Structure 1
Amino acid sequence: MNAITSVEKAPERSDAEKALETLLAWARSASKEEVADLDPSVSRLLSDAPEYPQFRRDYPDDFAVGEVYKSSLPDLQNGPSSLIRGARQQIQHVGISNFRLPIRFHTRDNGDLTLETSVTGSVSLEADKKGINMSRIMRSFYKHAEETFSFDVIEKALDDYKTDLESMDARIQMRFSFPMKIESLRSGLSGYQYYDVALELVEKDGVRRKMIHLDYVYSSTCPCSLELSEHARATRGQLATPHSQRSVARISAVIDCAKQCLWFEDLIDACRRAVPTETQVMVKREDEQAFAELNAANPIFVEDAARLFCQQLQKEPRVGDFRVVASHQESLHSHDAISILTEGPTFEMASIDPKLFNTLFHVG
């Protein structure tokens, strides 16, 4: 069977010229909308079409921004409410997170320390406002960045960006790693322990609260495991060791700055009184033995930990509402033991952040 196939002839230049003449003849009598509907690129073939602009591709080092030019720049975030997308609903917090800068802090024992600090700043946004200029939060904060920080200075920064952004409610949180030298248990050596600390100032409905958050890392020896180990030794002459694990308590507290200052070191000392088995920095053999003895003298369930921290916080007159979140990161189980204890309404929560306990892992 013979198959006959036809091969299309490739168009020549003369064919293209005739097609272009036909296209241009049609375009001269067509509207711009009709031309665009056919193909937007056709409009570039018309004789009266403006040429595509040729933009400069080099950076203009010599360009200076004048006031007139600056006033011509678009500012969508301060636009009318007609630009709002989605529901016209108040936003409780909008701002920036984790802008970093060196901040100088007072300490109880070591004068002033300059520490790298991560700052989160946010304000409320009314339902009829499109958005905020977020750089104003940073600019307001930087006005005070050279001062030695206290809650008084944080309040000034909060006042500034509330005014700049015309907001009702606002929040500043400052996170940093606070170094504190601690001595080993028996060898006389010393080293720096670093504590995750955050200071927070929150204003809502005209009421301001000052808060501190601290992560305290300690060793927890299971009381049940300790008793079972001793039982094996006593009844069967079997050497056994109780399980213990690195554990973390996150202490959050409202503080009363009208009274005597609550130093970072004061809160750390309160944690040590509650649970003295803090992880160690410098350790020789005599220190390791001492730490084993210290753990045996202070076995602790996660329920015990929450209540012991609570007991110390209740004794502190500079502390108001507080929350204790404890996580014992078990060496026996493939899961962790956790507890949450709150006092007062500030930290009450019906729902727990699904990632809360993930943030309590302190790795080297």
Structure 2
Amino acid sequence: MIKTIGLPSKAERHKRFGSVPPIIGTKPTDKEKMPDLQNTPNDFLFAINSVGISNVKHPVIVHSELEPKVQTTIATFALTTSLNQMSKGINMSRLTELLQQYHEEGFVLSFEQLRSFTKELAEKMEQTSATIEVTFPWFFERKSPALKKIGLMHADAKISVTYNQDTDQCTYETGLTAAITTLCPCSKEISEYSAHNQRGYVSIDTTLYSDSINEIDWKAFLLEAAESNASAQLHPVLKRPDEKMVTEKAYENPRFVEDMVRLVAADLYENPLIKAFSVECRNEESIHVHDAIASITFTKE
């Protein structure tokens, strides 16, 4: 038998829990009649380098050299512009309006679209520069070394594009954080058998020469730079023959964090498309309570 209780109406319930009717306002409701504080001119003491919004999540399309070659992922955006000294603020709603426009047209995270976006953003905001920063998980297929079992891996990728109206040029920065395996050379050297290993994280940030941004898939290159210099790759699927190969490969290629950043730096230095870079390796030590870290920053010019 259903138990019934006598409930007041929903409007009465809301009133009972504190809701009150709206007040009769005196301020205008038409946009044209509303004051616009952001566009009230005055001397506001300083120009601002960047102002805008961050932590904006939006679906985007990513093209990849590795399978899956076209994928939809969720990106996190930061959208900013400069602000001159005589302007109080920016119209921040225009930032998300433009993002929505590009989304409806199919927002592909290509350098071409990001340049178009930042240039249009600077023009719409009537400012001299604009920056779009995007971080997103990038997925790629990984085959196990022996049995070729396929699974999906991912790395954390990021792009930053800044447009400068004075030069009509953009600067392009990319980054990737990839997980790897490292085996301790010291542990291997001093032990009668075995050696401790751990999961490491290689974080790479690069500044690209603007005239060569479309020549490579930067995501695949940075992943290769991180993984090819590690003791071993990580895998989503490993059977026993695969695990044997991965374990032995790690033992054959011991790496300190110092070794990792130097070897990755060498690959980045050799790439003619990269103008400057920083690389960091952080190992979650398996026999210590701390992490081990090392980093290198280098500029070619």
TM-score category (smaller protein) = 0.7 to 0.9
Gaps of 5+ in 1: 1-54, 59-65, 234-239, 347-364
The 1-side partners of 2:70 and 2:261 are apart by 32
CA offsets 1:187-225 (integer angstroms, 9 cap, x no match): 321100011001110245745211111001111111101
Equivalent positions of 1:81-230 (< 5 A) are 81=42, 88-109=45-66, 110-145=68-103, 146-203=106-163, 206=167, 207-229=169-191
Paired residues, number: 272
Shift of 1:257: 5.3
1:275 corresponds, among 221, 225, 230, to 230
Q: Which has the higher contact order (CA 8 A, sep 6+)?
A: 2
The 1-side partners of 2:270 and 2:132 are apart by 28
2:215 corresponds, among 258, 261, 267, to 261
The 2-side partners of 1:80 and 1:171 are apart by 24
The 1-side partners of 2:242 and 2:72 are apart by 31
Comparing 203-212 with 159-168, greater Cα deviation is found at 203-212
Equivalent positions of 1:291-302 (< 5 A) are 291-302=246-257
The 1-side partners of 2:187 and 2:143 are apart by 29
Whether the 8 Å contact between 1:255 and 1:262 is mirrored in structure 2 is no
The 1-side partners of 2:196 and 2:39 are apart by 59
Question: Per the alignment, in what secondary structure is the counterpart of residue 320 of structure 1?
Answer: strand
Query: Which entry has the higher C-alpha Rg, 1 or 2?
Result: 1
Q: Residue in 1 aligned with 2:7?
A: none
CA offsets 1:252-286 (integer angstroms, 9 cap, x no match): 11223533522122332233322251222111222
Equivalent position amino acid for 2:245 in 1: A
Question: Per the alignment, in what secondary structure is the counterpart of residue 307 of structure 1?
Answer: helix
Q: Provide the TM-score with structure 1 as the length reference.
A: 0.69
Whether the 8 Å contact between 2:174 and 2:205 is mirrored in structure 1 is yes
Whether the 8 Å contact between 1:101 and 1:116 is mirrored in structure 2 is yes
Q: Give the alignment's Cα RMSD to 1 decimal.
A: 2.5
Q: Residue in 2 aligned with 1:3?
A: none
Q: 1 or 2, which has the higher strand percentage?
A: 2
Whether the 8 Å contact between 2:183 and 2:231 is mirrored in structure 1 is no
Shift of 1:143: 2.5
Quick check: 1:57 aligned with 2:5?
A: no
Comparing 90-99 with 218-227, greater Cα deviation is found at 90-99
The 2-side partners of 1:315 and 1:274 are apart by 14
1:328 corresponds, among 262, 283, 299, to 283
Whether the 8 Å contact between 1:274 and 1:311 is mirrored in structure 2 is no
Equivalent position amino acid for 2:277 in 1: F
CA offsets 1:54-99 (integer angstroms, 9 cap, x no match): x9539xxxxxxx9x921112322222337x5xxx222222111121
Comparing 149-158 with 286-295, greater Cα deviation is found at 286-295
The 1-side partners of 2:288 and 2:84 are apart by 48
Q: Provide the TM-score with structure 2 as the length reference.
A: 0.82
Equivalent position amino acid for 1:336 in 2: D
Q: Residue in 2 aligned with 1:38?
A: none
Gaps of 5+ in 2: 1-19
Q: Residue in 1 aligned with 2:10?
A: none
Shift of 1:136: 1.0
Question: Per the alignment, in what secondary structure is the counterpart of residue 79 of structure 1?
Answer: coil
Whether the 8 Å contact between 2:279 and 2:297 is mirrored in structure 1 is yes
Q: 1 or 2, which has the higher helix percentage?
A: 1
